Amino acid sequence: MTRTPSTPIADLWPTLPGDARPEAAHRLLQAAVASFAERGFHATTTRDIATAAGMSPAALYIHYQSKAALLAEISQAGHAATLALVCRAAAGEGDPAQRMRGLVEQFTAWHARARTVGRVVNYELHALPEDAYAVVAALRLDIEREVSALIEAGVAAGAFQVAEVRTAARAVTSLGIDVSRWYTDRSTETPEELGRRYGELVLRMLGAEL
Amino acid sequence: MTRTPSTPIADLWPTLPGDARPEAAHRLLQAAVASFAERGFHATTTRDIATAAGMSPAALYIHYQSKAALLAEISQAGHAATLALVCRAAAGEGDPAQRMRGLVEQFTAWHARARTVGRVVNYELHALPEDAYAVVAALRLDIEREVSALIEAGVAAGAFQVAEVRTAARAVTSLGIDVSRWYTDRSTETPEELGRRYGELVLRMLGAEL
């Protein structure tokens, strides 16, 4: 059986422009993701994170003011990377059905691969400080708007039959997000296989002729 | 706007036969669900739960040995109620497409209404003691088998076109489960409206002629 390890958090950042974080900050982010995913935000202490990163609690504070600051950076980076993926796919080549297929394939595979980050950013939203929550909520709204706009383009082109665009857009993103809950390294489908199958299921759900 | 409050945990039990739990146990279960949903299992203490239920920590131990025992009972009851709902719908009247529609409508509305319980039972699985986990895993497998069997009945009857029954069954349950993550009392669709729309989307996803 092919096992797919969860994508390390550090893999999120090299793709973002202007990243000049020291290696120690990357280790802290990685340790925070693992701790939050395992025990939840509230049960994790800054000492737990520092220890997992091989540092003293004092060394952690050089890079982050609090565990909430770590959660905020993880959540913003995770959402920004997801929005970038969605925008690229929505603006890709082909007709609306082809672009939607690409979007779902990548959105699904991403949530399978980056499932540990996905659990933290989707299930610890309520623990974000208010200003970080506002940034993340705006990114989430943008993701939903991109998906809605692509559905509307498909409806306008006569390719999709959809009664309620908002509910359909919600179902599309929900299917992908929930992958990070149930996908494990013992799952028999690779992230890419799952993406292809979900792409097919979503196009049918949107009433596309296949 | 119509607001839909989350179903209290106590509403799960009156439907189960032979319930003779004293009222204090119900209050403890209710307090445990609220605390686990808000802060996560690991960050919740038995003192938190006792206080929220208006009891002393010593009084809690009359009814439950540990917070893990509370989680186990909540999780088993939540999964048993869900399996009962799925079995009733799958064995209902009508052809496979009608029964699948009913199943999705009820499964979705249930996860919207009982969202607080839903979050706890779906996101704190890893915190269950081993024997309780085995019981819950068996209930989850039964739920997935019921959904798969209904899809297979639809395929056999020529009503559904499905490439991978297991993936499709997973998508059907995943859509419903994830409702408990995103549904709030500010959601504009009632649980029943959302259920009807999801019933429609799922039938299309399964390739039914509508």
**DSSP label at residue A157:** T
Domains contained in chain B, CATH given = 9-205 (1.10.357.10)
pLDDT score for A122:
93
Dist CA B129 CA B111 (whole Å): 24
Check A178 against B179: CB less than 8 A apart: no
Q: What is the pLDDT of residues B113-129, one digit of tens each?
A: 999 999 999 999 989 99
pLDDT score for B20:
57
For chain B, give the mean pLDDT: 92
Distance from the Cα of B146 to chain A's closest Cα (Å) equals 18
Residue A17 has pLDDT above 50, yes or no: no
Q: CA B3, A139, A32, A116 torsion: positive or negative?
A: positive
Q: What is the pLDDT of residues A20-75, one digit of tens each?
A: 567 888 899 999 999 999 899 999 999 999 999 999 999 999 999 999 999 999 99
The pLDDT-based confidence of B11 (bands split at 50, 70, 90) is low
Taking contacts as CB-CB distances below 8 angstroms, the residues of chain A near B163 are 197, 200
Q: Which two tokens stand for residue A35?
A: 């701790």
Closest of A10, A62, A58, A9 to residue A37, by C-alpha: A9
Q: What is the pLDDT of residues A129-169, one digit of tens each?
A: 999 999 999 999 999 999 999 999 999 999 999 999 999 99
Percentage of chain A with pLDDT > 70?
Answer: 92
pLDDT score for B23:
83
**For the CA atoms of chain B, what is the radius of gyration?**
18
- In this complex, the residue of B42, B122, B198 whose CB is nearest that of residue A43 is B42
Residue A201 has pLDDT above 80, yes or no: yes
For chain A, give the mean pLDDT: 92
Interface residues of chain A, partner chain B, Cβ below 8 Å: 38-43, 122-123, 126, 163-164, 167-168, 170-171, 174-175, 177-179, 181-182, 189, 194, 197-198, 200-202, 204-207
Dist CA B11 CA A43 (whole Å): 29
Check A178 against B182: CB less than 8 A apart: no
Residue A89 has pLDDT above 50, yes or no: yes
**DSSP label at residue B5:** P
CB A106 within 8 A of CB A85: yes
**For the CA atoms of chain A, what is the radius of gyration?**
18
* C-alpha dist (Å) from residue B7 to B69, B78, B108, B110, B167: 21, 12, 14, 9, 30
Nearest CA in chain B to A39: B42
Best residue of A44, A104, A166, A174 to probe chain B, by most B CBs closer than 10 Å? A174
Helix (H) or strand (E) holding A202: helix A191-205
Query: SS3 for B46?
Result: helix
pLDDT score for A30:
92
Number of residues in chain B: 210
Interhelix angle A67-90/A96-113, rounded to 10 degrees, is 150
Query: SS3 for B56?
Result: coil
Q: Which two tokens stand for residue A94?
A: 């082909």
The pLDDT-based confidence of A19 (bands split at 50, 70, 90) is low
- In this complex, the residue of A40, A175, A181 whose CB is nearest that of residue B171 is A175
Best residue of B121, B165, B174, B209 to probe chain A, by most A CBs closer than 10 Å? B174
Dist CA A107 CA A83 (whole Å): 10
Q: Which two tokens stand for residue A109?
A: 């595979």
- In this complex, the residue of A40, A163, A175 whose CB is nearest that of residue B200 is A163
The pLDDT-based confidence of A6 (bands split at 50, 70, 90) is confident
Residue B63 has pLDDT above 60, yes or no: yes
Categorise residue A181: left if φ over 0, alpha if ψ from -120 to 50, beta otherwise: alpha
pLDDT score for B15:
46
Tell me what the mean pLDDT of segment B9-14 comes to.
57
Closest of A85, A69, A78, A160 to residue A119, by C-alpha: A78
> Which region among A15-19, B54-58, B59-63 has the lowest average model confidence (pLDDT)?
A15-19
